[in-house]
Amino acid sequence: MRMTSLFAIAALLLTVGAAQSLAQQPAKDVIDTAMDAGTFKTLIRAAQESGMVATLKGQGPFTVFAPTDEAFAKLPAGTLDTLMQDKQKLSALLSAHVVSGRLLAADVTKMKSAKTVNGQEVTFTVKDGAPMVNNAKIIKADVLASNGVIHAIDTVFLPKP
């Protein structure tokens, strides 16, 4: 009888632990999380125009180095309009900001580089105490989503030809 009680308590603790773990898991994917943030309108529009929304709503996990609207505003005049009209170039641009897997800031600071989904490498450094990916400063890290993580960056990096 006493052994049965111990098993029941252990099972209850495991169930409570699993429920707490599920409760901490974000419910929204990277696209919906980015939409809710309100600072990635241009990125969302680009994902819609390029047809990448379905991919980024997929199972993942993905790490998205997400340029903010302010980052897109820093592009030379006409660059964004030109990109928005060329689905292939737009997809290449967005793919240069996505890495397969969930890389939290603690992971990134231990790495030198990672391969993006378009096959190019992004490099990680620390400059003046701030984590950097390529030439972009990570201004907000570890925005968790159900299928990955978003790191907001202050610069758009254009893919190499």
Q: Interhelix angle for 87-95 vs 41-50, to 10°?
A: 130
Instruction: Give the tens place of pLDDT for each residue, 74-113.
Output: 999 999 999 999 999 999 999 999 999 999 999 998 999 9
pLDDT of the residue at 26: 75
Residue position matching structure tokens 């994917």:
29
Give 4 or 46, the one with higher predicted confidence: 46
Asked whether the predicted pLDDT for residue 17 surpasses 50, the reply is no
Q: Who wins on pLDDT, 108 or 23?
A: 108
Q: Mind listing the domains of the chain with CATH numbers? A: 27-153 (2.30.180.10)
pTM of the predicted structure, to 2 decimals: 0.82
Q: What is the pLDDT of residue 130?
A: 86
| pLDDT greater at residue 25 or residue 29 | 29
Distance, CA of 156 to CA of 161 (rounded, Å)? 15
Q: pLDDT-based confidence at 20, cuts 50/70/90?
A: very low
DSSP letter string over 109-132?
A: TT-SEEEBTTS-EEEEEEETTEEE
Question: What is the structure's pLDDT at 159?
Answer: 62
- Cβ neighbours, 10 Å, residue 41: 14
Give the bridge partners for 138, in sequence order.
Answer: 153
Distance from C-alpha of 61 to C-alpha of 87, rounded to nearest angstrom: 24
Whether the CA torsion 78, 82, 84, 89 is positive or negative: it is negative
